[in-house]
Structures are given as C-alpha cells and as structure tokens.
Amino acid sequence: MISQTKTFRRITRRLVLPLLLLPSSTFSTYHPSTGPCQLSPSWQSLPLLSSHKLTNQTSTFTYSLPSSTESLNLSPCACILVRNPSGIVRPYTPTSNNSLKGSFTLTVKLYQNGVLSNSIFKNEPLEFCHINKNVKLQYPLSTSIKRVLLIAGGTGITPINQLLECIDSEGDTVKEVVVFIGDQSSDDVINLECISALEQTNSPKFKIIRAYSGGENGRFIDEDAIRQHFVKSEGDCLAAICGPPPMMTSICGDREDSDVTGALKRLGWKKDEVYKF
C-alpha cells in the first residue's frame, strides 16, 4: 500500500506538476482595457519619465499618466495620437500593455528628417490624445478566424505585436499565424519581446519570416513571398498589415483606401478579410 502511494506521488510529481507549471501563453497574458482610457479625446500634456535606447535609431519612451494607480486602459491594437509644439500629429501604438500602471511606453524610430520622431527624441513638450473608435481591429477575434497573416514593416511592428500578444494568450482558436517582419536590416528591427519569445519556442503554430530589403538575407515581402508561406483559404482567414506608405500601397493598397488592392488582392484577399492598421 505504502509503495503504491509512493509510486502515485512520483508519477504526480513527474507528469502532472510540469503540466500545471506550463505557461498558458508564451510570453504574457492578454490585458484588455477594464475601463475608459486615461487619455481623453482632448489633448493633454504628459511628462516623460524615462527613455531607453534599443537600436541606433530606436528608443523607448515612458510617459507618466494622470493616475498613478490606473493603467492607460487602451484597447489592445489601438493607437494614440501625439502632437508636437508645431501642431504636427502622428499615431503611435504603445508597446506597454494594460498591466503597467501609472505610465505607458512608446517605442519610436528616429527618421532623419522626420518631424515628430525628432520632437520625441529631443524631448520637446508633447501632447497626447485618444481618438474614440480608432480601433480598427478589436480583440477577441471572431471565433471563425483560424489562420492569420501578419505583415509588419519598420515600426509597423508595434500594432502587429499587440495582436500577436493577444493571439498567443488567447489559446487555441487560431491554429496558424504567419508573421512577416520587414525592415532595411536586422539592426533596424525593434526586437520586441514577444517576437523573440515566439521564435525561441519553435512552435509550429507561429511562423516568423524576417525580410531585410537592404539585401542582408535577400528577402522582400511581395506577392511571391506571401504565396510561398500562406495560401489563403475561404472563410477562416484574416490579414493585418502595418508599414510605411509604399509598402502598404504595394501589398494591400493605401491605408485610407478601404478596398484591398496590390499583392493581397491578386492573392484573393477581400475587403472584410484585411485590416490596415
């Protein structure tokens, strides 16, 4: 009897405990907004708390929120607007999620003659606001979505990262995710935690393809590359894309144009299957 109990305990320790310790997601859990966003549709100034250099041209900037005990409470995949002292406005998707209280983080690439990115890097006084209904893609996804194609160019990786984070923490509804990450070179890519974590798991569910247009790995995100890695099926697919204007034009059509054109149209994608961040 004693030996049977010991054997049972040994089996429990070896088989059951590791299963209980297994994380439900690779790197984080989904943090939906639990109340109204701390930023209103009116402009408000927020102080910079800290900044941290990630690559030669990319840094993170952490801004203090009005309430130190509340999170930003922005829906995953949504962006905020930033305005500089000259009144120039650009959208940015925070790289922190709603688990962070009292502050939020932007990851920003510095463009040589870029107006707003230079204002951010020079720590000019900035104003922020949240546009209601700016969320083109809300989470959770419809349960009919089983296969997802994500295409990120440059800093377009920030909203794609939010979506990946949601999909990873959500379980098994989505069966296949193919992510294209495009930039000029590997030095330019913002290595966000989730992407690196997913790559390290070698999970068959997530396939990450890095394409460096500067020639480093000879890859380019175009119709052939997409066809090679993702063949669209009917009724269960979604594509989400965020990148610089020329990339949007060639792959799915301009951001402001609700129709799908370019490579995705030629590959059979329809308007209600493609989200342009």
Ligand X SMILES: Cc1cc2nc3c(=O)[nH]c(=O)nc-3n(C[C@H](O)[C@H](O)[C@H](O)COP(=O)(O)OP(=O)(O)OC[C@H]3O[C@@H](n4cnc5c(N)ncnc54)[C@H](O)[C@@H]3O)c2cc1C
Nearer to ligand X, 106 or 221 (CB): 106
* DSSP class of 142: P
Residues 113/103, Cβ–Cβ less than 8 Å = no
Which one of 37, 65, 72, 116 is in contact with ligand X (CB under 6 A)? 116
91 annotated as a binding-site residue: yes
Question: Taking contact as CB under 6 A, which single stretch among the options 21-29, 35-43, 123-131, 153-161 is the one that binds ligand X?
Answer: 153-161
Which one of 155, 166, 263, 269 is in contact with ligand X (CB under 6 A)? 155
Q: Looking at beta carbons, which pairs linking 183-186 to residues 24 or more positions away fall under 8 Å?
A: 183/153, 183/154, 183/211, 183/212, 183/213, 184/212, 184/213, 184/214, 185/212, 185/214, 185/216, 186/210, 186/212, 186/216
Say how far apart CA 155 and CA 190 lie, in whole Å. Answer: 7
* DSSP class of 194: H
30 annotated as a binding-site residue: no
Which one of 76, 159, 253, 262 is in contact with ligand X (CB under 6 A)? 159
Nearer to ligand X, 149 or 160 (CB): 160
Beta bridge partners of 64: 103
Say how far apart CA 59 and CA 56 lie, in whole Å. Answer: 8
5 annotated as a binding-site residue: no
Say how far apart CA 133 and CA 182 lie, in whole Å. Answer: 28
Task: Write down the least CB distance from residue 193 to ligand X, Å.
Answer: 15
- Per rule CB under 6 A, is residue 93 in the interface with ligand X? yes
Which one of 36, 115, 231, 233 is in contact with ligand X (CB under 6 A)? 115
- Per rule CB under 6 A, is residue 277 in the interface with ligand X? yes
Which one of 43, 111, 220, 275 is in contact with ligand X (CB under 6 A)? 111
- Per rule CB under 6 A, is residue 114 in the interface with ligand X? yes
State in Å, rounded, how far the first CA of the chain is from the last one.
63
Under DSSP, is residue 129 helix (H, G, I), strand (E, B) or coil?
strand
Residues 80/30, Cβ–Cβ less than 8 Å = no
Q: Which residue is nearest to ligand X (CB)?
A: 114
Say how far apart CA 95 and CA 99 lie, in whole Å. Answer: 11
158 annotated as a binding-site residue: yes
Residues 127/83, Cβ–Cβ less than 8 Å = yes
Which one of 3, 34, 68, 113 is in contact with ligand X (CB under 6 A)? 113
Which one of 65, 108, 151, 241 is in contact with ligand X (CB under 6 A)? 108
Nearer to ligand X, 87 or 204 (CB): 87
- Per rule CB under 6 A, is residue 102 in the interface with ligand X? no
Question: Taking contact as CB under 6 A, which single stretch among the options 27-35, 38-46, 152-160, 166-174 is the one that binds ligand X?
Answer: 152-160
- Mark the binding-site residues for FAD, compressed into ranges: 90-92, 109, 117, 158
Residue ranges in contact with ligand X by CB under 6 A:
79, 90-93, 106-109, 111-117, 155, 158-159, 242, 277
